[in-house]
Chain A
Amino acid sequence: MAPPSKRRPGYDRKAQYGLFVSYVIAIVGALVGVLLLVLSIADPTGFSALRSASAEVTRPISSNLRALVIGIGNLDETIAAYINAGSQNAALRRQVDANRTKLIEADAIRQENFRLKRLLRLTETDTGVITAGHLISSTATSAARVARLDIGRSRGVLPGMPVRGPEGLVGRVLRSGPNTADVLLLIDEGNVVPVRRTKDNIPGISTGRGDGTVEIRALNTERNPFKPGDVVVTSGIGGLYRPNIPVAIVARLAGDRAIAIPLANPSRIELVVVQTPFRPAETAREDAANAAAQASNASVP
């Protein structure tokens, strides 16, 4: 079929000019797109007013739909639990017995730890928790892995704050609006987290891969020290993330790096907690010393 054509205006001068102007506007529009793109790549937090305004508009709808989808998302687990109920019951009973002794031991170790830390004056009193909220939607069409939180500036959520769930680290806050905030997930390539292996404190770096997994590279060993099944937690080096938040479990090795699966699966987490950025004790002391030095410099003319 041949389409009706208005792109061939014939001898009509007015139509010809109109066509020409529409091309000019389109090309100018493309150039505006390039300009906006350069601005937003140079400053990822830019246009935050525009973004948070649109987030505020869609927030009520997606947060109401959320309850529905969580129910559907867990349906497969519920059915699978019924099918294996008998054998699973026996296995779980054995596991509970084994875990009970381990729990008692862990309790004793926690007591001892607390006592030793108090001796070293290392006790941390605050957990840094600011507030809790739900993840309501995400950038499901885009290649960037960003999720939206249903709380924002009004509850004290600011860009750069770490976000964690009960199972482990989720990400950090990228932008925050009045009642919404965007969280850069752990699985995004832009999210780099200093980690350590729980067994022996081998330090490493976790980077997202964009497909639901993270890759972990050891910092200071020549060969790959990781093995499948290793659990890594945040090391607290460099600040931002508090130490000992579970991050991921190693699934397989790929050359000098390990591919790991995050422990907190953001699509199943009910509630997340926003924390203050962590500042190690030494940095805090150094900052205080610098401030004091500056104050004394200022007082000397």
Chain B
Amino acid sequence: MPRYDNRIGRNRSELQIRGTPVVSVMLGSMSATLVPMIAQAPLIPPIGLMMLIAWRLLRPEIWPLWIGLPLGLFDDLMSGQPIGSAVLLWTVILLALDFESQRHFWRDYWHGWFTASLAIAFALAGGWLFVRLAGNGGSIIQILPQIAYSIGLFPLVVRICAVLDRWRLP
């Protein structure tokens, strides 16, 4: 393999360009159910949601507003949340990010991380509430560590999305 291959004008199929973000979010959603670990408390960050937000910050135009419906449904099936939980929360997050980007036009790294932190905290707290309404789960204290390290790991997910983005585009 040559050390310096051509990075401009490569052949990329439409499927690769449009499918990569979707597949990466779906793989993120599947991480919980694929990890063969019997968790005693919420342990794994919501990687599917973090991927979704990271793509949204990186390329604001790739997600149509309704993408929370199919991807959220898939996430619910994989994560074991009550069905409809991620459908609602992800759609609300996408709408909120949309309104936010209309109000605050200029943005930087810290701004993106901050909005993503709010979105992750909102999604985890909402997910806890819906599990609670269904009569399961436990106290809200147990999701606080999960929120903390999900926020801490978010820049890493953004890096992964950036690498995927370079691979996906021609």
Contacts and interface: CB of A to CB of B under 8 A. Distances in A.
Interface of A: 1-7, 22-23, 25-27, 29-30, 32-41, 44, 46-47, 50-51, 54-55, 58, 61-63, 65-66, 68-69, 73, 135-148, 182, 184-185, 187-190, 208-212, 265-267, 269
Interface residues of B, number: 67
Contacts of A188: 136-138
Interface string B15-46: 00000000000000011111111111111111
Contacts, number: 223
B95 A58 contact: no
Interface stretch (B4-12, B76-84, B156-164): B76-84
A118 B94 CA distance: 68
A3 B83 contact: no
Nearest to A148: B33
Given A54-B78, A58-B33, A140-B37, A2 B106 contact: yes
Contact of A62 (B34, B65, B79): B34
B13 interface: no
B133 interface: yes
Interface string B138-149: 110111001000
A238 B82 CA distance: 28
Contact of B38 (A41, A54, A135): A135
Contact of B131 (A27, A62, A68, A144): A144
Given A143-B143, A212-B40, A54 B88 contact: no
Nearest to A68: B36
Contacts of B60: 3-5
7 closest A-B pairs (Cβ-Cβ)? A210-B138, A36-B84, A33-B88, A139-B80, A33-B87, A37-B84, A212-B40
Nearest to B146: A141
13 contacts: A6-B61, A7-B98, A26-B66, A33-B68, A37-B82, A37-B83, A37-B130, A40-B84, A66-B36, A140-B43, A190-B136, A211-B142, A265-B40
Nearest to A72: B37
Contact of B136 (A55, A145, A269): A145
Give chain A's interface secondary structure class: mixed
Contacts of B44: 140-141
Contacts of B36: 62-63, 65-66, 68-69, 136-137
Contacts of B64: 22, 25
A59 to B, nearest CB: 9
B81 A144 contact: yes
Contacts of B83: 36-37, 39-40, 46-47, 50-51
Nearest to A55: B33
Nearest to A22: B65
Interface string B92-113: 1011001001100111100000
A51 B91 contact: no
Given A62-B33, A143-B131, A212-B41, 13 more contacts: A30-B87, A30-B92, A40-B84, A44-B135, A54-B77, A62-B35, A137-B36, A138-B37, A140-B32, A140-B42, A144-B137, A145-B138, A182-B80
Contact of A187 (B40, B94, B106, B107): B40
Interface string B111-134: 000000000000000011011111
Nearest to A38: B84
Given A26-B66, A211-B142, A189 B34 contact: no
Given A26-B95, A50-B77, A34 B84 contact: yes
A1 B37 CA distance: 41
A104 B133 CA distance: 51
Given A41-B130, A143-B42, A209 B138 contact: yes
A227 to B, nearest CB: 24
**Counting chain A CB atoms within 10 Å of each CB, which of B72, B81, B98, B137 scores highest?**
B137
A3 to B, nearest CB: 5
**Counting chain B CB atoms within 10 Å of each CB, which of A44, A69, A140, A184 scores highest?**
A140
B65 A23 contact: yes
B169 interface: no
A255 to B, nearest CB: 15
